[in-house]
Amino acid sequence: MKPFITAITSLLIFLSASYADEVSHRAAVEEYLIITKTDQMMKPMFQEMEKMMLGLSKQMGVPEEEIDMFNKYVSGYLGTMEDQFGWDKIKDDLIKIHQETFTEAEIISFIEFYKTPAGRAYVEKDPLLMRKITEVSQKKIPAMIERLQAFEALMKEDIQKERAKKQAQEINKAKGM
């Protein structure tokens, strides 16, 4: 009986230590997300998406008389995105992902970095950096789309040629040639 009690006691100690590690790991991740202002990054992201989507009306050639309707749908789209990806909706998922990806020691090291002047500067300037990267990317998208469409046209042409070739071979085979 004594070995059984010892085994149960050891198991309980292990489980409580494991639970304590989980709690402290979660607390470290939450501190990391706060210090990096992850919760505040969602709003600028949605604002950038709104600017991008409203800019689409020009690219799509939406007539002036249809702009209000277009904007209504953009607002609905963005509202849905905010409802589904708002901080309160994704916080627990982000915590879990960080816990699965980084050890508690790594998270603590990140926190220490973000508390330094360089780390604070990174957090403050990261939204501007992301906005500039997005702007550069958006400028490159039309050329990329054009090239992808040309590639798609070539691919379709090659597929059609290959199908025609196979069909001709099958006809010739059926004729006994």
Q: Measuring CA to CA, which residue among 80, 78, 91, 1 is closest to residue 38?
A: 91
User: For residue 147, which amino acid is it?
Assistant: R
- Mean pLDDT is lowest, of 10-14, 102-106, 159-163, 172-176, for 10-14
Please count the residues of the chain.
Answer: 177
User: For residue 158, which amino acid is it?
Assistant: D
Phi, psi of 63 (to 5 degrees): -65, 150
pLDDT band at 113, cuts 50/70/90?
Answer: very high
pLDDT on residue 19: 47
Q: Output the CA torsion sign for 38, 133, 122, 114.
A: positive
- Mean pLDDT is lowest, of 17-26, 34-43, 56-65, 141-150, for 17-26
* pLDDT (average), residues 115-144: 87
Tracing tokens 């090291």 back to the chain, one arrives at 109
pLDDT on residue 66: 86
pLDDT on residue 173: 84
Say if CB 86 and CB 77 are below 8 A apart.
Answer: no
Instruction: Supply the mean pLDDT for the chain.
Output: 83
Residue 18 predicted with pLDDT over 80:
no
Say if CB 59 and CB 137 are below 8 A apart.
Answer: no
Helices (H), the chain: 2-35, 38-60, 67-85, 87-101, 104-114, 117-175
- Mean pLDDT is lowest, of 2-6, 104-108, 124-128, for 2-6
pLDDT on residue 83: 83
* pLDDT (average), residues 55-78: 84
